[in-house]
Structure 1
Amino acid sequence: MGRLLTGRRTMTDRPAEPPGNAVQDRLRFLFVLHNHQPLGNFDEVIQALTDRAYRPLLEAVRARPTLKLTLHVSGPLLLWLEHRAPDYLDLIGELVQCGRLELLAGGLYEPILAAIPHEDRIAQITLMSERLRSRFGVRPRGLWLTERIWESAIIPSLIDAGIAYVLMDDRAFLTSGFAPEQLHDYYLTEAEGQSLAVFPIDKSLRYLIPFRPPAEIEAYLRWIVQIGGRLAIAADDGEKFGGWPGTAQWVYTDGWLKGFLDLLEGAGDWLITQTAGEAMEGVRPAGLCYLPTCSYVEMEEWSLGPDGGRRFEELKNRLGADVDRFIPHLRGGHWKHFLVRYPEANRAHKKGLALSRLLPVGRRAAKARLDLLAAQCNDSYWHGIFGGLYLPHLRHEIWRHLARAEALIRRRHKLTVELSDLDSDGAPEVWVSSSRFSAQIQPHRGGRLVEWTDFAGELNLLNTLTRRPELYHDAIRRAAAQPEGAPRQGIPGIHDLQRAAPADLVSALCYDQWERAAFLDHFFVDPEPLSGWAGGRLDERGDFTEALLDYTPTSSGVVLQRSGRVRTESDPNHPILLHKEYTFTENRALMVLYRVQNQGSNRLDVRFGVELNLFLPSLALGHTHMTLGDRRVLLDHPLDADQVERFTVSTQGLSPALHVEVDHPARLYSHLVATVSQSEEDYQRTVQGAAAMPTWDLRLEPGNTWEGRIQVTIE
């Protein structure tokens, strides 16, 4: 019963309709902008977007005294602007003070609210709201929902954080049964009788603005008036006004923005611009709504992956001219399916949740929690039209904050080994940690090392990305032979861009056989495996890479072993015993002992290799090299070197460096791990890590054992 005494709006509270006036007879146009840049993005990228999109658009609106807008500046971008472009924030403040601009809240670090706990949602929103209040003197009532990922479970969190309204794609309403003509209004939803207003974002306006001529936009707005609509809600990314390909020329140089603002100013007899908060106060809600778990249709398609995406496209093609009519009832995937498709994203997500449960009390906990909240920034957990997960500097920023948080949590802790299902897949990881590092080993996946976070360097040394098929790879393969479509008036939206695909990019499309990690154990017979291994086509003869190994935790690591089979030229099922022992030390070193025993009745002739996939932040910039003894080699070409006893992966002048030593001279193979992904501008080849595999020729008589050690040291 206590919740009824909070003073929040309940389902029986409604704003009264104001007395008849000119505003009531006009269409209320809500111009809502969402400006966001990921945590950790390059300064020059954010500066360019500020100069090309954010600032010129706001200056153009300021010059039109009758126009109003609603603006969301994401927390990561706000933090950057405070230090790098305070004059832009001054411009926002000027418009706020004269009542022409309403600011929206969000999570301070722009998380997917549905993917974080209730307490974290409230903390994220409260931190953002307080920052806006401190800087601009206003506390926001509305919230921009990150990537418009809606789950009804977030409603209590929004209400508890003081949010009165959100904006959500009209698809959510159409999917739940509303007719298109009903969506030029706003509605109330509720949780346990506590109300939250929801404004449907008009998809047609999203696709018209700024890509079509103002005359087409005017025609659509007049149609809304004709059907009795009270609100026209245009809400989308601010980057589309100068930041996306082709938009700077079209919006500013070619005069689209002037024509659009002229339209809004000149339509005063039938249209008025308002902020979302003004509209909510001036118009009664149209009724009640209950929205399904969903997002905008493109996000639902992206989350499906290539196979599901092809089926979705096929179904849309079968519908032909009726696709727009039925698309609300075609469901794609859930945003959280990205955590299934990309285990690297899931690992970071679940690591943050695990560390949250370990937070101590006191001042140290507050600092650690802020880093954990920062690690919830959404961009590195998914991939669609933008780089997202495929951008290593964004993933590095997430792991940097996780490292900072865990370093605070484990300060003065001794080396500890525990079992915990960190990634929520039903099988425990061996979690080894101390005051200097944190590592995860997966006994159920070949005993591989999937995380090794160094607190001093603030990085996960295994933050690589596996090469996987993506739906748009089909388009890359078709692009060279596909003629361009006929030009039309306006410019293409970001989802309709025709991207060039050079031949070398097509040839770079290859996919990994296993998830990238360290200490992947391979058995093969190919005397020249480099090309096949680098191309994801290693002729693996063993059955250990994805197998469950028996394991026994120790005081400093874990011992793993398994009896398995190797397919040799003379025996398709040759039995061997693989023994693997991890030993971590407090001085940032790891030693792995291997034993391979021939358990068959015949001699074993096979090659044994241990794959290491390593990450340094500078790899993607081409600044990392490998040192073999006293010889330095660049990593831009595959490497085949014999009689190697030690090698180093490092960046000149920067730390840390990774030193690898083996106790038997090895033939070393190495190559860069590069993915092909799409961005808002083009297709990109991006270096995600460096793969190295020391190998040995094993010639074992029945019952004999080969023993070798690999030591990796961080300096």
Structure 2
Amino acid sequence: MPLPVPFLFHFNQHFNEYARVAGRACYRGLLRVLRAHPALKFNIHISGTLIHALSWVDPEPLELIRDGLKAGQFELLGSTYAQNILYASNDWDNARQIELHKAVLFDAFGVEPRTFWNVERCWRQSLVPLMAEAGYTCTLVEDHILSRAGATGPFTFTTRADSHRLLVVTDDETLKHKVNLAAWFGRSGQAFDHLRALAARPDADALCPAYAEDAEAMGLWGWERGVTPNQTWAYLDEFLSALEAEPGLRLIHFSDAPPPGGDLTPIPDGSAAWMDAALTRPDAPYHEDGYANWFDFHARSPKLKHFTQTYDIIRARIQAMPQNTPGAEAFRRAALLTYCAHQYEFGCIGVGGLNDRGWEDARTAVAVARAAQVAEADGEFVIIDDCNGDGSDEVLVSDGAQLQITTAYGGRVLYWFDLRTGQQFLGNQLPVLPGVYTGDGHFPVVEPVNNGRLPEDDAPRHSAERVEEMPPTRMGRFLPLWVWQSESLPVAVAAREMNPGEAVMPLMAQTRAFADYVTLDTQSAEQPPEEWLDSRMEKGGVTFIRYLSDELTLEKTLRFVLGKLVAG
């Protein structure tokens, strides 16, 4: 019987327009190569943040995934919406992340996955009930963790906690690196030697070594380092063609994994091999100085401690939100989406931190929670309060049916809600803005972004422009040094010209540019809006006064009139 091998590609980006770059430099080409081999089965995981980002900036990869699902070639995995590490996160947050991701997958693709992608491969046994109660029956665990639990090969196993049980598939770290060597450099010998050795075993049909890798490895990582992605797609295409010709190998969906060869309960706590390796190699991607391994990072990282406390505060606000009206329930859903979106890759090395909007903007969920509280109270009011926890006051104006939240300086409208239905008319708390976080109310300081010239097409194609490089090469920082020991050197790299392309400003919707602001047609340097400012409360509204000069004063009044937000 052929050796069953699941291939999994994990797609992930934050809610940011860089997803368009990833789509052009990676996702389109990768998915077209996979679809060009309809006889081969593939497993796909795509994060909720990326689904929502691609829906705005490049829907084509989503359509390619839908086509693969309809054809029965692809099978989707579930996970957390924003790829926070379960081990490092509060389990209430984890449950909400998993629920949200399942809902987004169903909305986008109409499927309910049964296999769970455990984010960044960090394992604790208490995750079993969390996954099982969400409807999942299968997950992956890295081979080095399973070996410490007693595994003697890449079999499938059961593992249990309380009354719950999961099927565990072996995440083969060695296979991952050897397949990457084939896709990046056309050196496929090691990958086939590894697979053929397993296929030659008498119990081959009971084995299930899984290749699980970031989809970005198949184009984006190389493109960022000056490698032509079309070359990567060409090497991958050739590797998959060779796989099809191997009678002893069979690519499968996780739902078709062989029955378990035993039970491993408990499986000891474990962390991803790649993170442990990156922490010991200063030249490795995502390296952070001063930590022996991921568990050391998890225990001592100041940024994790800080944001764990921040998330505790925000979580308590969300948990206290009323749910007794349609509007309040809509606000709760919006607050949860905002909160989850800004836990992106929480717990991972080399990601996030103080003043990083990917985590800091979780505070905007508090403003939505405040709207739900306001909805319970009838009547008009104008109050000043730091309603989003960013350290700066905001002005809240309500006519009993609607709520506007503006900055205390300048009266820039941040949010506008219908308190009865929960509809949000104005505000954009989801995207991750470029630039340093300075608070919810400050207009972000943005600059043109130059992502280089993107590939002209998605076709797999060998490049005529190649350079010879010795290990580790520009890509080799992603590989362990042992992969080079049996290879002839140097290797050819399909180098591209690092053309700067055209610098463009971030999308307006991502920068909240639709929130009002004023500029003057003058050669003189403008005063920052925090200075020479005053305001006065009025019935049903607020007036902001800007002293621009001795000769020029600007007044702006915001109020609700006949159910409409009026600025004058």
Range of TM-score over shorter length: 0.5 to 0.7
Shift of 1:350: 2.1
The SS at the match of 1:398 is helix
Cα RMSD (Å): 4.2
- Distance in 1 of aligned mates of 2:384 and 2:70: 49
The SS at the match of 2:14 is coil
> Which residue pairs with 1:170 in the alignment?
143
- The aligned amino acid for 2:359 is R
Match of 1:492 among 476, 481, 487: 476
> Which residue pairs with 1:237 in the alignment?
214
> Which residue pairs with 1:299 in the alignment?
275
> Which residue pairs with 1:260 in the alignment?
239
The SS at the match of 2:170 is strand
Match of 2:352 among 369, 388, 395: 388
Residue 215 of structure 1 pairs with residue 227 of structure 2: no
Mark the structure with the bigger radius of gyration.
1
Shift of 1:105: 1.1
Residue 144 of structure 1 pairs with residue 125 of structure 2: no
The SS at the match of 1:283 is coil
Q: CA contact under 8 A between 1:30 and 1:69: conserved in structure 2? A: yes
- Distance in 2 of aligned mates of 1:384 and 1:342: 10
Shift of 1:301: 6.6
Shift of 1:153: 2.2
More strand by share: 1
Q: CA contact under 8 A between 1:211 and 1:492: conserved in structure 2? A: no
Change (3 A) 1:390 1:142: same
Shift of 1:285: 4.0
Residue 190 of structure 1 pairs with residue 160 of structure 2: yes
Q: Percent identity between the aligned chains?
A: 21
Aligned pairs (5 A) from 1:177-576 = 177-179=150-152, 182=153, 184-212=154-182, 213-227=187-201, 228-229=203-204, 230-246=207-223, 249=227, 252-253=230-231, 255-267=234-246, 269-279=247-257, 282-300=258-276, 312=292, 332-333=294-295, 336-337=298-299, 340-362=302-324, 363-376=327-340, 377-379=342-344, 381-382=346-347, 384-385=349-350, 387-389=351-353, 392-409=356-373, 436-438=385-387, 451-452=391-392, 454=394, 456=406, 461=438, 486-487=470-471, 491-494=475-478
- Distance in 2 of aligned mates of 1:488 and 1:300: 18
* 1:633-683, Cα deviation, whole Å (9 max, x unpaired): 8xxxxxxxxxxxxxx6x5xxxxxx43489xxxxxxxxxxxxxxxxxxxxxx
> Which residue pairs with 1:96 in the alignment?
69
- The aligned amino acid for 2:312 is K
Change (3 A) 1:301 1:205: closer
Change (3 A) 1:194 1:383: closer
Shift of 1:296: 0.2
Q: CA contact under 8 A between 1:189 and 1:290: conserved in structure 2? A: yes
Change (3 A) 1:364 1:352: same
- The aligned amino acid for 1:225 is A
* 1:204-237, Cα deviation, whole Å (9 max, x unpaired): 1222232341122111212222455522210011
How high is the TM-score relative to the length of structure 2?
0.63
- Distance in 1 of aligned mates of 2:277 and 2:314: 27
- The aligned amino acid for 2:157 is Y
Q: CA contact under 8 A between 2:8 and 2:211: conserved in structure 1? A: yes
Q: CA contact under 8 A between 1:27 and 1:271: conserved in structure 2? A: yes
- Distance in 2 of aligned mates of 1:490 and 1:84: 29
* 1:138-195, Cα deviation, whole Å (9 max, x unpaired): 211111122223222222121111111112222321343434xx2x122111122321
- Distance in 1 of aligned mates of 2:24 and 2:156: 34
- Distance in 2 of aligned mates of 1:29 and 1:214: 16
Change (3 A) 1:207 1:276: same
Shift of 1:375: 2.0
- The aligned amino acid for 2:295 is G
Change (3 A) 1:188 1:113: same
- Distance in 2 of aligned mates of 1:277 and 1:295: 25
Match of 2:32 among 50, 59, 84: 59
Q: CA contact under 8 A between 2:157 and 2:167: conserved in structure 1? A: yes
The SS at the match of 2:10 is strand
Q: Which runs of 5+ in 2 are unaligned?
A: 395-404, 408-413, 415-428, 430-436, 443-467, 482-509, 512-516, 534-557, 559-568
The SS at the match of 1:140 is coil
Q: CA contact under 8 A between 1:301 and 1:309: conserved in structure 2? A: no
Q: CA contact under 8 A between 1:451 and 1:461: conserved in structure 2? A: no
- Distance in 1 of aligned mates of 2:157 and 2:165: 10
> Which residue pairs with 1:76 in the alignment?
49
The SS at the match of 1:71 is strand
- Distance in 1 of aligned mates of 2:238 and 2:52: 33
- The aligned amino acid for 2:270 is C
Shift of 1:196: 0.9
Q: Which runs of 5+ in 1 are unaligned?
A: 1-24, 313-330, 415-433, 441-449, 465-483, 498-616, 619-623, 634-647, 651-656, 662-714
Aligned pairs (5 A) from 1:21-36 = 25-36=1-12
Match of 1:128 among 101, 116, 126: 101
> Which residue pairs with 1:47 in the alignment?
20
The SS at the match of 2:33 is helix
The SS at the match of 1:70 is strand
Q: How many residues align?
A: 419
The SS at the match of 1:51 is helix
- The aligned amino acid for 1:222 is R
Structure number with higher relative contact order (C-alpha < 8 Å, ≥ 6 residues apart): 2
Change (3 A) 1:211 1:252: farther
> Which residue pairs with 1:658 in the alignment?
530
The SS at the match of 1:236 is strand
- The aligned amino acid for 2:349 is G
Shift of 1:631: 7.2
The SS at the match of 1:190 is strand
The SS at the match of 1:389 is coil
- Distance in 2 of aligned mates of 1:356 and 1:101: 36
- Distance in 2 of aligned mates of 1:334 and 1:360: 39
Structure 1, 291-300 or 110-119: larger mean CA deviation? 110-119
Q: CA contact under 8 A between 2:43 and 2:253: conserved in structure 1? A: yes
* 1:424-455, Cα deviation, whole Å (9 max, x unpaired): xxxxxxxxxx7742487xxxxxxxxx844755
